[in-house]
Chain A
Amino acid sequence: MTNVHPESVVAIARKDFQDSVRSWVFWGLSTFFFALLVTTTASIWYFADDPIFGAELTTGVLVGVTSSITRVIIPVIALILGWKAIAGEWESGSMKVLLSLPHSRKDVVLGKLLGRAVVLALSLVIGFALAAVVVAALMGGFDVVDYVGLLVMSIIYGVAYVSLAVAVSAMTKSTTIAGAGVFGIFLLFYVVWNAAFNAIQLLVQFEYIDGVEYTTEFQGEEIELLRLPDWAYLFDMFDPGTAYSNVLTLATDAAEIEGAAQIEADMFHGSIPFFLQDWFSFVVLLFWILAPLAVAVYHFERVDL
């Protein structure tokens, strides 16, 4: 990218880190991630012999359970960390001081993203690192690769939401509007996206939208079934939360459900489309980092300050 100056981006990120982060937020987040991992591990270990809920304490199970919680929690943390990043500088009257110094506007957006992303990433790293000691002690075969995979994907997932929040913050001079904007993002991915996907499923069931027929084997018998059209799956894959869950199977060994792969193969006549493969979910997460950033930079470079 042109007009990006690494030294400016780092200077702004450092300033932002010093200015925006109260130290208790940082340590609070680290403690929270530590507690989350330790509690989850201890719960799995405690209930391991339970006939209904019990599961063997492995890193794979830990990743599965933890990620179902972080999938919901990380976006909220990231949106809260990011929403004031740029609009807040307007509200406090310091934006002109920032831009009087030799930074391009792109530097400002990138520096802000970096500053806020580092807060989230560092607290995740500290929480995970401290918890690793306890987790490894409770667990027989601790798989470092899976554990680090969960950490790295959680950081990328979080940065995507920080990027969304910073982008919203770059679109307005009012923190009230920015706040409404990130709440809108929250609703979009927690409610609207799922609701839309469910609606598509209903529309296919009631034949308002053409589904695709396929045959599969069920308990030794061939049966005819109907699935959604490809674009509906593509749409579903773009939900960052779905992408996060999917990508964890790429980064870790979180087990796939027995037989699911076979059914999937039957649905698409043997060749699974690229967007349903796990690596595509990783691309989706990168998309949610870069696309909001691109929109924010485009707007922020053109607007009258």
Chain B
Amino acid sequence: MVAIALEGVTKRFHDVVAVSELDLVVEEGEIFGFLGPNGAGKTTTIDLMLDFIRPDEGRIEVLGRDVREDPRAIRQRTGVLPEGAEVWGRLTGQQHLEFAIDSKGVDADPTALLERVGIPEAIDRKAGGYSKGMAQRLLLAMALVGDPDLLILDEPSTGLDPNGAREMRQIVREENDRGATVFFSSHILEQVDAVCDRVGIMRGGEMVATDTVAGLRESLSTDTVLRVTVNRLEADTVQAAEAVEGVSAVETETVDQPTLIVHSDGSKTAILTAIEETGVEINDFQTEEASLEEVFRAYTTAETTA
């Protein structure tokens, strides 16, 4: 079964394309890491999945239902931790959880939920006095109400210290063991790396890579990074390098001299030739091994052309 399916989804805000022809499938029972820098379109994609916003094109199904048709039925079986959300200052922890429990029409114990997220002592305190991390834990507890089939966590580590982030990942694993599908967004690789079965990397509104974590590591071992120092950059230099077979990503740097950083498992000569054909002069080049961090960076860093 498929938990989440997006088909050719495009969303524009006025004339800005936030998400462009996005296809994505998340299988039931997997932990999917949704990576990308801030502004890549991750939250827009999640908002589309929750019917907070409507796509200009394409179809979205969550838990086997069209999100436009019955978003309420989907949310009944989904726990959501929205990005940058705030708690209600005048409600206590207990009242927050009671609201979630009433809203879902389920039986759950607020004390047990708060114990699970590590803030049982805050149950009778008004959430207005919580720290950022405590508020985030309370929102996670609300998302867990009713043992949802799908958990959608948008930047769940926001405001958590490393210890809190680790506890959060532990809960994600427990929920997954229970049978829940987890869709988990982050702009930080390590948080996803440790816990996810599969990751998707988004940049500029497009999915630039979807693979298992093992698959990403695999591509890392064959990938080499070519640093090419040139005398200047032409408008089409980057595109020319990207067009070469085997090239997965191209970054540019202009710290001392203009430099192209090309990730590729193909021919070095072909890349160098393609760069020269755009009319620039190659001063120097060297090859490096890529780390997972660099692969992610290459995928997610926007091109900077001087």
Contacts and interface: CB of A to CB of B under 8 A. Distances in A.
B47 A8 contact: no
Contact of A304 (B54, B95, B99): B54
B104 A96 contact: no
A108 to B, nearest CB: 11
A102 B82 CA distance: 14
Given A101-B75, A101-B104, A102-B75, A19 B91 contact: yes
Contacts of B86: 92-94, 97
A18 interface: yes
Contacts of B89: 19, 92
A19 B50 contact: no
> Which of B78, B91, B99 has the most chain A CB atoms closer than 10 A to its own CB?
B99
Contact of B82 (A14, A100, A304): A100
Contacts of A304: 52-54
A156 B211 CA distance: 60
A305 B47 contact: yes
Contacts of A20: 90
Interface in B57-75: 71-73, 75
Interface residues of A, number: 26
Contacts of B285: none
Which of A20, A100, A305 has the most chain B CB atoms closer than 10 A to its own CB? Answer: A100
A7 interface: yes
A71 interface: no
Given A101-B75, A104-B72, A94 B85 contact: yes
A1 to B, nearest CB: 14
Contacts of A305: 47, 52-53
A103 interface: yes
Contact of B99 (A15, A22, A99): A15
A83 to B, nearest CB: 18
A97 B72 contact: no
A108 B225 CA distance: 53
Interface string A73-110: 00000000000000000001110110111111000000
Contacts of B103: 8, 11-12, 101-103
Contact of A94 (B78, B87, B105): B87
B146 to A, nearest CB: 9
Contacts of A92: 86, 88-89
A5 B47 CA distance: 22
Given A5-B72, A101-B75, A305-B47, A18 B85 contact: no
Interface in A102-123: 102-104
Interface residues of B, number: 32
Interface string A3-26: 101011011101100111010000
Contacts of B50: 99-100
A20 B89 CA distance: 10
B50 to A, nearest CB: 7
B262 to A, nearest CB: 39
B142 interface: yes
A7 B83 CA distance: 27
Contact of B85 (A8, A10, A14, A97): A97
Interface in B109-167: 139, 142-143
A252 B14 CA distance: 55
B90 A19 contact: yes
A18 B91 contact: yes
A18 B102 CA distance: 14
B100 A101 contact: yes
A102 B52 CA distance: 12
A93 B135 CA distance: 12
A88 B137 CA distance: 23
B91 A103 contact: no
A100 B75 CA distance: 7
A15 B91 contact: yes
A92 B88 CA distance: 8
Given A8-B103, A11-B103, A15-B88, A97 B47 contact: no
Interface in B181-222: none
A22 B82 CA distance: 27
A100 B81 CA distance: 8
A61 B172 CA distance: 68
B126 to A, nearest CB: 10
Nearest to A21: B90
A11 B85 contact: no
Contacts of B83: 96
B95 A102 contact: no
18 contacts: A8-B103, A10-B102, A11-B99, A11-B102, A15-B91, A15-B99, A19-B88, A19-B91, A93-B84, A94-B85, A96-B83, A100-B75, A101-B100, A102-B103, A104-B71, A104-B72, A304-B53, A305-B53
Given A15-B91, A18-B95, A304-B54, 6 more contacts: A8-B103, A18-B91, A19-B89, A92-B89, A97-B85, A97-B139
Interface of B: 47, 50, 52-54, 71-73, 75-76, 78, 80, 82-91, 95, 99-100, 102-105, 139, 142-143
Interface of A: 3, 5, 7-8, 10-12, 14-15, 18-20, 22, 92-94, 96-97, 99-104, 304-305
